[in-house]
Structure 1
Amino acid sequence: MQKTKLVYVWSLRNGAADKAGQYVDYHGEKRYMKSPLEHLVQALNDTPLGEHYALEAVICDDNPASARDRESIKEYGFAPGQGEHWFYPADLKVQGRLVNELLENVPSTYRALPLGDSQRPAGKSDFERRLGERLHALEADIVVLDGLLVILDELVRPGADFHRRVVNVHPGITRLESPYERRGAYATLDALYGAKGKKVIDWSTRETVDIPVVNMTGASFHYVDNGIDSGEVIFDVLDTPIAPDDTILELRWNNFNNSLFPALEQGLRVLARRQAHQ
């Protein structure tokens, strides 16, 4: 059986914020912060998921020429060995290949331009063009996004080559009808506020309003459209309780292990079943 070719796309700066690959403080002890990539690799190695998928490349969008990006990942660097830490064990292999050998960089250089700069749209379009060219060269069947801090547009529009071929794993429930809905970049922090009976209505000022306590969160595996975590949900998991004294990293650890990793695995299984019936 021919395997579906997977390409994984992420932002190293997001993994660095999670302290991926490090031991973090967890309610008075230390726990290893496994990245979604490391979990995916283990699932491809150790579960039937590996019978359906082959990981072809791991692409990051961080820009080595950007001082801001260099600062964000200074503990890691842009490649294994450049910093004090790395995002997963150096000898990690996926289906017999070193993950380090699959690493590639397609930098989203347009982010260096000021937010109102007239050249940003063209720069964003150029980034998506370069990413698309690389995905085509890799003959990617499915593209998995994890913590990509860029909103894709041209690549995922209806009629585009990668429409309904790009999926995202998000650390929050993305269904708008759910009382546990947590879309966007602040999903985990939003969940922490919700567990205290607060809803942030302005993230620039952290202005809040009172709401009923929501002390659970989860994760969604969904198709990517040109909105913010607004694509059709393929599989989601709501299985992460929020403790009143959780820090953001403690909740991230819990949510990764209880909800996000299962959503990633089960979502890929759903896609494999759908492809088998096409």
Structure 2
Amino acid sequence: MLRVVVLVSGGGTNLQAVLDAVRDGKITNTEVAGVISNNKKAYALTRAEQAGIPAKCVSPKDFEDRARFNHALMETVDAFQPDLIVLAGFLVVIPAELIRKYENRIINIHPSLIPSFCGTGYYGLKVHEAALARGVKITGATVHFVDEGTDTGPIILQKAVEVFPDDTPEVLQRRVMEQAEWQIMPEAVNLIANGKVSVKDGHVVIQK
């Protein structure tokens, strides 16, 4: 049974997609062991509570410096004994020590087709604003393993989404979530839970 811990900062729609997929049997051999947020007001914490899942808030605002926050975050993650850490809109830099400890066991969802519109500064609506400003006809979402760079880890899954001429960033964001993010994040977790994903020479190999 794959023990998953989800780290999230906001509404938790990708968390909900994972919870729904576990409930509906689209993700097998998996339990969501805990949810951690850096934001006390994150609706994701309510989603966890409603699903009967232990939830913790670890906020940088509660610590004197980033080193102490990083230590507390590490301790909180470790206490859940996760096999996989899922970053679902977690807007805090992950400590390098945590990344090294859980190498190829942390995944992230990014709302573009990496390597487009990714890296430092590209998060939330900013990604979709940039895509529309560039005039792209196709965007999408990417699930990737987390390394010590920003959106640079091995790509697991990607899904394309069409861009329409009258799109606003908000409309495009919603379409990318519905048509891509909420589909490929649960799919990636299920593949990992069932031993279908490996990393070789920096690339993800998926067994059919």
Instruction: Report the TM-score when normalising by structure 1.
Output: 0.62
For residues 140-186 of structure 1, what are the alpha-carbon distances to aligned partners after superposition, in whole Å with 9 as ceiling and x for unaligned? 111100111112132344xx322221110111112x3xxxx121223
What SS is found at the alignment partner of 1:155? helix
The offset of 1:100, in angstroms, is: 5.9
Q: 2:2 aligns with which of 1, 4, 18?
A: 4
What SS is found at the alignment partner of 2:165? coil
Q: 1:108 aligns with which of 57, 60, 65?
A: 60
CA contact (8 A) 2:107 2:143 kept: yes
Q: 1:126 to 1:87 in 2, by over 3 A?
A: closer
* Cα RMSD, aligned residues only: 2.6
Q: How does 1:55-74 map to 2 (within 5 A)?
A: 55-62=32-39
Q: 1:169 aligns with which of 109, 112, 128?
A: 109
CA distance in 1, matches of 2:188, 2:72: 27
The one-letter code sitting in structure 1 at the alignment partner of 2:22 is L
CA distance in 1, matches of 2:81, 2:32: 11
What SS is found at the alignment partner of 1:271? helix
Q: 1:267 aligns with which of 164, 188, 196?
A: 188
Instruction: Report the TM-score when normalising by structure 2.
Output: 0.81
CA distance in 2, matches of 1:100, 1:243: 39
Structure 2 unmatched runs, 5+: 199-208
Count of residue pairs the alignment pairs up: 193
The offset of 1:99, in angstroms, is: 2.7
The one-letter code sitting in structure 1 at the alignment partner of 2:90 is L
Aligned twin of 2:165: 244
What SS is found at the alignment partner of 2:103? coil
CA contact (8 A) 2:87 2:106 kept: yes
CA distance in 2, matches of 1:252, 1:61: 22
Asked whether 1:135 is paired with 2:77, we answer yes
For residues 12-55 of structure 1, what are the alpha-carbon distances to aligned partners after superposition, in whole Å with 9 as ceiling and x for unaligned? 2xx3xxxx7xxxxxxxxxxxxxx111111110100241x31100
Between 35-44 and 182-191, report the one with greater CA deviation.
Answer: 182-191
Q: 1:162 to 1:259 in 2, by over 3 A?
A: same
The one-letter code sitting in structure 2 at the alignment partner of 1:44 is V
CA contact (8 A) 2:157 2:188 kept: yes
Give the helix-richer structure, 1 or 2.
2
Percent identical residues: 22
CA distance in 1, matches of 2:177, 2:26: 21
Q: How does 1:49-198 map to 2 (within 5 A)?
A: 49=27, 51-62=28-39, 78=41, 86=43, 98-99=50-51, 101-109=53-61, 123-157=65-99, 160-174=100-114, 176=115, 181-183=116-118, 184-185=122-123, 186-195=126-135
CA distance in 2, matches of 1:193, 1:141: 39
Asked whether 1:228 is paired with 2:180, we answer no
Structure 1 unmatched runs, 5+: 21-34, 65-77, 80-85, 113-118, 196-213
CA contact (8 A) 1:151 1:227 kept: no
CA contact (8 A) 1:128 1:154 kept: no
CA contact (8 A) 1:153 1:225 kept: no
Aligned twin of 1:211: none
CA distance in 2, matches of 1:124, 1:263: 32
Determine which structure has greater relative contact order: mean sequence separation of CA pairs < 8 Å that are 6+ residues apart, divided by chain length. Answer: 2
The offset of 1:139, in angstroms, is: 0.8
